[in-house]
Structure 1
Amino acid sequence: MLKKLLTLSVVFFSVLTLQAKETEDQTINHMEIATIMYYDGKYDKALDELQKAKESHMDIEWDKYHNMRGLIFLKEENYQSSINAFKEAILATRKKVYQPPVEDKPQREYLFKIFSKNDKQEKPVVKTPVFDPEKLRKDQIEEIYIYLSQAYYKAGEYLNAVHALDDAGEKGRASASLFTLRAECYWKADQKGSAIDALSRGSKLFPEDATLLKQKFYYFAELKLYQASIDAAKAYMKKVPANAQEYISLAQMLQSAGEGEQAIEILEEAKLKFPSSAKVDILLGHYYNQKEMPHVTADLFEEGSFYDAKYLKEAAEMYRRNGALAHALYLNSMMQDKEEKTKQKVAIYISKGEFEKIIGLKDAMDRYGLLQNDNMRYALAYSYYMVKDYDEAEAHLKKIEDDELFSKATVIRKNIEKCRSNSLECL
């Protein structure tokens, strides 16, 4: 009896184990797990799950299998594998047999509902959309072609990317950004006319989108078609409130085209709209400096430094060149970079002829490693020479290695010898 019970137990346990295994195999959906892994960014695990799905001998959706592989390879920057996978996905989608969706089962009628007062109320008629497998197929294939165009673009196969967008049909023309992509593909394939034509076609379909005009502006500028670029830029600025950088880009393009006056006009307009833009002030200052208006330049540089302290050095330097040395020193005093501040202060003191103050900066120059620069060491040596401290002057002149400065140092050392021989020589 016990033996029979043991035998039955073993059989029962074996049946349970087999059922559990069958249930496990049925419940594990490797395609779904691969999808989850993909969205979690775990691409290697997603590929493993796809391989398990392939090896499971189950009837999997091959279009989704190949499409998922294409997306994973695209994320991993394995573009050729991505292209191949998307092509397989398109072939699988063409062969796919679409099944109509399973209708929801009617709700069970419970005994109490039979006698419900609301039993005679009419239920709203819900129209079930017509099942159209060919439309589903077309939509799916067009979507895969969009992905394929991205893979081609990343792989540098620009004309193939355009062909994929064309094959995407309506979806390939569904947004302005896809025309931007088309144009960029043509541009990189050195088909400049087709690139601009793509932007024009996009603008007709999406007249409110300003990015197409913006890209056209840059393309015209690169082709040195400056008037066309200016027209595109102005059309863009009418659609979208341009930012300071876009005004700057337009001004730089005008300057490159030899339209300096127009460039200044654009920047003056930008200055009114963006009074706190340091870059506008600085660029405008440079353009006025090219017109030999250094005092206006200095004022603009100083104004720019109010909003961005990194321009203090340029502002102080411009005032130094203009001879406004006291104001140059005032701006220099606000600089935070100690090394640059000391270097510029030396230049200002040289302009003022205040050589004792340069000598007073010797410790700071040494501390910031400025005496490794032969120009700075020469300035210090020259200052010692001017205050008649010949020993210190010679000590620093001997350390100069730059050929040009060494020649100057030799002249000063000869003068020092004359002064030592006859002090009347250096009165």
Structure 2
Amino acid sequence: MKNLNNTIRLLALLLAFAIAVPALGQGEDDDVNYLDLAALMLRDGNLDRAVAALDQVDLEAEDADLLRYYTLRGMTHLRRNEYAPAIDALEQAVATGEAQSVVYVYLAQAYFSLERYEDVISALDRAGPDLQRVASIYHMRAQCYWLLEDHAMALATLDQASEIFPDDAAFQRRKVFFLMDMGLFQEAAEQGRDYLARSDGKLEDYVALGNAMRASGELIEATRLLELAQLRFPADVNVKKVLAHTYIDRGQMHSAADLIYEASHLDPVLLSEAAELYRRAGQPYRALLLNGSITDQATKIKQRLALLLEMQRFAQAAAMEQDLLRLGLLSDEDIRYALAYSQFKTGQFTAAEANLSQLTRSDLFRKAAELRSAIQDCEGDSWQCL
């Protein structure tokens, strides 16, 4: 809506200036022409003074310019974010039968701010043909249909706008995002490719379209698009993350790990994800090396325990008990069981039993019973169970 709001602001300034000029000679017998004064105050941003001037206008006078009065009052309330009185004033301006199309735009904006989307569409319809060549109006209309969940009309409005403004790719871009929200990823991907072919494309366009292609199963196309995006936006983390997940979908775990590791130079929070991907890629030593650089201690210690268990470094895992206790991680029963298992594997049966006794989850309780049985079998010949 940014372009739409900019257009409306420009129209506001033009209309305010236009309203200020024609009545300079009006009321020559009066010391003050309050409509002129209100228009001047509105143009200069003195909204409270504009209201005060409008309050002095004699609406019963034979020469009272009601259209100009209600338009100025509506615009002033709109600028003050007072949408209900703005609507009342602008509807009265329309009721004079002489309102210009831009007044309907202000009215539509006020209705939109109150989320009265059907009234927005009605106001735009009442404006007549003057707005048919204003691109921002089609965006507003399409958005209202979308928010009313009339998706067919929203898409039809964008298609109509694309025919009227063939050089404006913004309508097709909005359509791509609408299609993705509807879950029509294949159609969104096709429209997105066409959109990017006729425009430079923004960063978020590449990311969104890449996700749409992934969701529709077009993994090779998604990879090509996102690799191109990475070349265009080498410093963006989101592109790297989406491309990495595309690699994961294709089973290219090592490529995904390398990419997330590269992204971690821009966002260190991703170090733990990079380490996990290296683990899944069959490189636990590389994962352990990266784990040492993680700054979040809870994340670091939890991941380190899992890596040591996978590498069967049970003595090192068992030695982590104080770190786990200090960080409060033993409240996680999965971690407590993993520690107990490490202690069992290193012959620390008493310590293992102490941790097993604190497990309450039913699935872990069964595993704990099995481990206790193994401890009893090993207590006589512990070296055979290591």
> TM-score surpassing 0.5?
yes
- Which one of 396, 403, 407 corresponds to residue 362 of structure 2? 403
Q: Is the 8 A contact 1:180 1:199 kept in 2?
A: yes
Structure number with greater CO (CA < 8 Å, separation at least 6) is 2
CA gap 1:398/1:55 in 2 versus in 1, 3 angstroms: farther
Offset at residue 380 of structure 1 (A)? 1.9
- Which one of 210, 229, 253 corresponds to residue 294 of structure 1? 253
Q: Is the 8 A contact 2:278 2:287 kept in 1?
A: yes
- Which one of 188, 192, 205 corresponds to residue 147 of structure 2? 188
Map of 2:218 onto structure 1: 259
Percent of pairs with identical residues = 30
Q: Is the 8 A contact 1:35 1:68 kept in 2?
A: no
Tell me the SS of whatever aligns to 1:399: coil
Offset at residue 214 of structure 1 (A)? 0.6
CA gap 1:395/1:178 in 2 versus in 1, 3 angstroms: same
Measured in 2, the distance between the counterparts of 1:347 and 1:234 equals 42
Q: What does the per-residue CA deviation read over 1:70-104, in whole Å, with 9 as the maximum and x for residues that have no partner?
A: 34554666644432221112234x4xxxxxxxxxx
Q: Does 1:412 align with 2:365?
A: no
Measured in 2, the distance between the counterparts of 1:341 and 1:64 equals 68
Q: Does 1:85 align with 2:73?
A: no
Offset at residue 181 of structure 1 (A)? 0.8
Offset at residue 241 of structure 1 (A)? 1.5
CA gap 1:27/1:160 in 2 versus in 1, 3 angstroms: closer
Tell me the SS of whatever aligns to 2:56: helix
Q: Does 1:377 align with 2:380?
A: no
Measured in 1, the distance between the counterparts of 2:92 and 2:73 equals 10
CA gap 1:425/1:167 in 2 versus in 1, 3 angstroms: same
Tell me the SS of whatever aligns to 1:319: helix
- Which one of 268, 271, 282 corresponds to residue 230 of structure 2? 271
CA gap 1:424/1:268 in 2 versus in 1, 3 angstroms: closer
Residues 23-42 of structure 1: pairs in structure 2 closer than 5 A: 32=37, 36=41
Q: Is the 8 A contact 2:219 2:250 kept in 1?
A: no
Q: Does 1:317 align with 2:320?
A: no
Structure 1 or 2, whichever has the larger Rg, is 1
Map of 2:23 onto structure 1: none
Q: Does 1:67 align with 2:71?
A: yes
Structure 2 stretches lacking a partner, 5+ long: 1-29
Measured in 1, the distance between the counterparts of 2:353 and 2:42 equals 74
Identify the range of structure 1 (78-87 vs 60-69) with the bigger mean alpha-carbon deviation: 60-69
Identify the range of structure 1 (325-334 vs 192-201) with the bigger mean alpha-carbon deviation: 192-201
Map of 2:314 onto structure 1: 355
Measured in 1, the distance between the counterparts of 2:385 and 2:185 equals 61
CA gap 1:189/1:422 in 2 versus in 1, 3 angstroms: closer
Q: Which AA in structure 2 matches 1:88?
A: Q
Measured in 1, the distance between the counterparts of 2:38 and 2:84 equals 25
Q: Is the 8 A contact 1:66 1:86 kept in 2?
A: yes
Q: Which AA in structure 1 matches 2:310?
A: S
CA gap 1:205/1:362 in 2 versus in 1, 3 angstroms: same
Q: Which AA in structure 1 matches 2:220?
A: E
Q: Which AA in structure 1 matches 2:56?
A: A
Q: Which AA in structure 2 matches 1:201?
A: Q
Q: Does 1:389 align with 2:348?
A: yes
Measured in 2, the distance between the counterparts of 1:303 and 1:62 equals 66
Measured in 2, the distance between the counterparts of 1:67 and 1:27 equals 19
CA gap 1:403/1:30 in 2 versus in 1, 3 angstroms: farther
Q: Which AA in structure 2 matches 1:322?
A: A
Q: Is the 8 A contact 1:31 1:53 kept in 2?
A: no
Offset at residue 202 of structure 1 (A)? 2.5
Measured in 2, the distance between the counterparts of 1:227 and 1:351 equals 40
Structure 1 stretches lacking a partner, 5+ long: 1-24, 95-136
Offset at residue 290 of structure 1 (A)? 2.3
Q: What does the per-residue CA deviation read over 1:22-54, in whole Å, with 9 as the maximum and x for residues that have no partner?
A: xxx9669598479748976876x876x368426
Aligned residues: 356
Tell me the SS of whatever aligns to 1:286: helix
Q: Which AA in structure 2 matches 1:70?
A: G
Map of 1:281 onto structure 2: 240
Give the TM-score taking structure 1 as reference length: 0.71
Q: What does the per-residue CA deviation read over 1:236-295, in whole Å, with 9 as the maximum and x for residues that have no partner?
A: 323432233211211221222232222222223223333333322322222232233322
Q: What does the per-residue CA deviation read over 1:8-32, in whole Å, with 9 as the maximum and x for residues that have no partner?
A: xxxxxxxxxxxxxxxxx96695984
- Which one of 102, 105, 118 corresponds to residue 143 of structure 1? 102
Q: What does the per-residue CA deviation read over 1:166-224, in whole Å, with 9 as the maximum and x for residues that have no partner?
A: 33245523532211111122333344343333223323443332211211222344455
Q: Is the 8 A contact 1:419 1:426 kept in 2?
A: yes
Residues 323-362 of structure 1: pairs in structure 2 closer than 5 A: 323-362=282-321
Q: Does 1:152 align with 2:111?
A: yes
Offset at residue 327 of structure 1 (A)? 0.6
Q: Is the 8 A contact 2:38 2:54 kept in 1?
A: no
Measured in 1, the distance between the counterparts of 2:332 and 2:31 equals 77
Measured in 2, the distance between the counterparts of 1:162 and 1:383 equals 67
CA RMSD of aligned residues (A): 3.4
Q: Is the 8 A contact 2:219 2:249 kept in 1?
A: no
Q: Which AA in structure 2 matches 1:275?
A: P
Residues 120-135 of structure 1: pairs in structure 2 closer than 5 A: none
